[in-house]
Amino acid sequence: MPFKILFLVTCSLSLFSQVYSQKKQTVIKSQQLEASDLQLKKQTMAFLEQRLPEDSVTAKKIWHYAEVGYKEVQSSNLHINNLKQAGFNVEEGVADIPTAFVATFGTGSPVIGILAEYDALPGINQDCVPFRSPISGKEAGHACGHNLFGTASVAVGIALKKLIEDKKISGTIKVYGCPAEEGGSGKVYLTRAGLFNNVDVVIHWHPGSSNGVTTTSALANKSAKFKFYGVSSHAAASPEQGRSSLDGVEAMDMMVNMMREHVQEKTRIHYVITEGGKAPNVIPDFAEVYYYVRHPKRSEVVKVFDRVVKAAEGAALGTETKMEYEIIGGTHDLLINKSLAELMQKNLEQIGGFKLTPQEIEFANKIRLTLHDTTRPVESCQNILPLKFTGEGGGGSTDVGDVSYTVPTVGLRTATWVAGTPAHSWQAVASDGYTIGYKGMLLASQAMALTAIDLFTQPTEIIKAKEEFKKELGTYKYKALLGDRKPALNYRD
């Protein structure tokens, strides 16, 4: 064989050997990292499970507090104290909201945010029993599980802080104290204030009646209180001298109800009269009605809301009353990040669901008898829903939507309620204060923590999420639907 050919063959074999060796080392290194991450995840799951008794006490305290939007002083302080004791630096009263906070630990990239909610719903309360039993004197209840929501998120923050402290991961963890999700649009003000601008990914969760990653959007929403001012008079002796503010409200409601025939099918409009007078024989000089307008597309929400305003103006003109309105809330639809959802799904499936004790099954079966949907077995909490992206969907709204238009966002629901339980029900309140709720809370905290570990240890996952986020966002520039108003701190008054 000629020397030149021999030399080339030798060089080729040497190069092949080097490439093969490098690939082999890469595979070995990848396997080592995977094994290391798996061990890290197991340790974190165990840490969160060990915390469950402590976290259950926190969740039950907040369940008892049942503080409504922007009034969550005790609930917020409890989370703040737990985070401070764990070593977080906590900035309180952010975005002009006394009960909002940002807790931070670590330095540098990546920056991972965890959302924590803790407000209750007015007008519904329930004891922790499987039959209807309101608590006397109590005006609100955790019918959406935010006592569990905030507690799990704080636990995740503390678990990740420990990993940073032990130098198992590097970067920054932020826990966002988010008040007034129920109609107050708390996160909108946090978003508007730029508190998520330097965050790489945000993770959240929500109580529910099944275990699955969030893959459907939410309804965009705009809400306002319409205030009518009239003239008081004796309803029998001098009715001609009065101008009823309640007439203005009722005229508005009638026109809006007729308008339902002429809006897009997926539009949702609902209202409650919050003030209508005190006595039938007194023509009321003040009345108020609180409206929500929802639709999958925020642009359609704006259009329909403007028509509702016109109905209010017409009602005031026809009843010779004066009308003014106050924007209370406004939220975007939810932008789903598929790459993050797929990542979270892997972790959720790795953990699996959970089993109920005989006592919990008995409790669940009694709750089940009170539900309209009795087809779903109570043991469905053991299952994980498959990942399906269906686009528009969901009957509710959430201010997480505004966050999702600022930073790549991912979330999940876990079975904190008996299968078939609707949100905002007394059955949800009962489960949120019971051990079933705590088990679902633990599953949520573990799934969020494991997903965060992947983001801290696998930079390519963040790159993928950001690329998808930019593509989905397109040319849209975020703008809050509620305008530049200050937080509606008294909207529950």
- Residue pair 446/374 in contact (Cβ under 8 Å)? The answer is no
Express each pLDDT in 163-217 by its tens digit: 999 999 999 999 999 999 999 999 999 999 999 999 999 999 999 999 999 999 9
Q: Is residue 462 classed as helix, strand or coil in its secondary structure? A: helix
Express each pLDDT in 340-360 by its tens digit: 999 999 999 999 999 999 999
Q: Give percent of the chain above pLDDT 90.
A: 89
Q: Is residue 328 classed as helix, strand or coil in its secondary structure? A: strand
- Residue pair 133/127 in contact (Cβ under 8 Å)? The answer is yes
| Mean pLDDT across 465-474 | 96
User: Which pLDDT score, from 0 to 100, does residue 344 have?
Assistant: 98
Residue 189 main-chain phi, psi, to 5 deg: -70, -35
Dist CA 182 CA 431 (whole Å): 19
- Residue 15 pLDDT exceeds 70: no
User: Which pLDDT score, from 0 to 100, does residue 23 have?
Assistant: 57
Tell me the domains of the chain and their CATH numbers: 34-218+333-473 (3.40.630.10), 220-330 (3.30.70.360)
Residues facing residue 231 across a β-bridge? 243
Strand blocks (E) in 179-217? 201-208, 212-213
Dist CA 136 CA 307 (whole Å): 41
Q: What burial class does residue 11 get, using C-beta atoms within 10 Å of its C-beta: 0-12 exposed, 13-18 middle, 19+ buried?
A: exposed
Q: Give the model's confidence band at 396: pLDDT under 50 very low, under 70 low, under 90 confident, else very high.
A: confident
Dist CA 374 CA 112 (whole Å): 39
Cis before 280 (ω within 30): no
- Residue 32 pLDDT exceeds 90: no
User: Which pLDDT score, from 0 to 100, does residue 263 have?
Assistant: 97
Q: Give the model's confidence band at 79: pLDDT under 50 very low, under 70 low, under 90 confident, else very high.
A: very high
**CA-based nearest residue to 453, from 1, 77, 30, 43:** 43
User: Which pLDDT score, from 0 to 100, does residue 133 have?
Assistant: 97
